[in-house]
Structure formats: structure tokens, C-alpha cells
Amino acid sequence: MQFSHLINLNAVYIDSISQSKTAVLLKVSQILSQLHPELSKQELFEAYWKRECLGSTTIGQGITIPHIHSAKLKNAQACVIRLQNPVDFGAADKQPIDLVIGLAVPQEQVAQHLEILAAIIKRFKVPSFREACRQAVN
């Protein structure tokens, strides 16, 4: 999968402010709603929060992939945030999160949603890729 089809350069952000799970999910919602006016920041946040309440979206190694479906989207959208201040997301490996990939997929694209998640997880299993993401600057 080509992540360039999923992530606009304007959706890559280094965050030095967020210091809680709530703040991170708000930042994901803000970025995606600014780039996609059909999406409401508040509706996105509520959907991400509801999804996170079902179970942690962390995948280990300091990475989380908050992901939701949206009836307002025609194509999958994502943002990437590198947190300068790692945040506790309740990860099974107890590592605080410093890399966030916020994903929103059209409501009816369940199979694509799972394929995208699998591709992201596979990519982030590569230590050199994780480290390159952590070294990125604005």
C-alpha cells in the first residue's frame, strides 16, 4: 500500500502540546476536519473516543492507530502525529505513545479498513521505519 494515497503532507504534524489521550484524539480530529470540511471536528472526536473506549488502539512500540468509520467520507483519510511528549494510551506493553496514525475510512469499506490497518501495522513493525518517523522534523 502506498501511504502517499492515504496521507496528505498537510496531515503530518509534530505536536509539542498534547499531554493526554483526550488531547491527542482532539488533535487527530482537528487535523482531519481542517483538511476535509465535510467532517466535523466534534463528530470525529466523539467517534474516536467511542472507539477507544471499546479497547485500546495501540499496537505496541509507542504507536497507536485510532481508527473509525465515517459515512461522510468517499475515500480513506489519515494523519500522522509525532508527539514530543509521549502520552499514556493504556498500551499492553506499558509504553507511552509518541507516534499516532489517525485513520478514518468510509462507512461501507469494512474490508479496506482492515487492509489499511494491516498495512500500517506491518510497516510500523520495521524498526528503521519507526525510527525514521521519530526523527522527522517539520
Contact (CB, 8 A) for 81 and 15: yes
How, if at all, do strands 77-87 and 97-106 pair? antiparallel
φ, ψ at 55 (rounded to 5°): 165, 150
Contact (CB, 8 A) for 17 and 23: yes
Contact (CB, 8 A) for 102 and 117: no
Which amino acid, 138? Answer: N
The HSE-up count of residue 7 (CA atoms within 13 Å, CB side) is: 19
Catalytic positions are 67
Radius of gyration of the chain measured on its C-alpha atoms: 14
Residues, the chain: 138
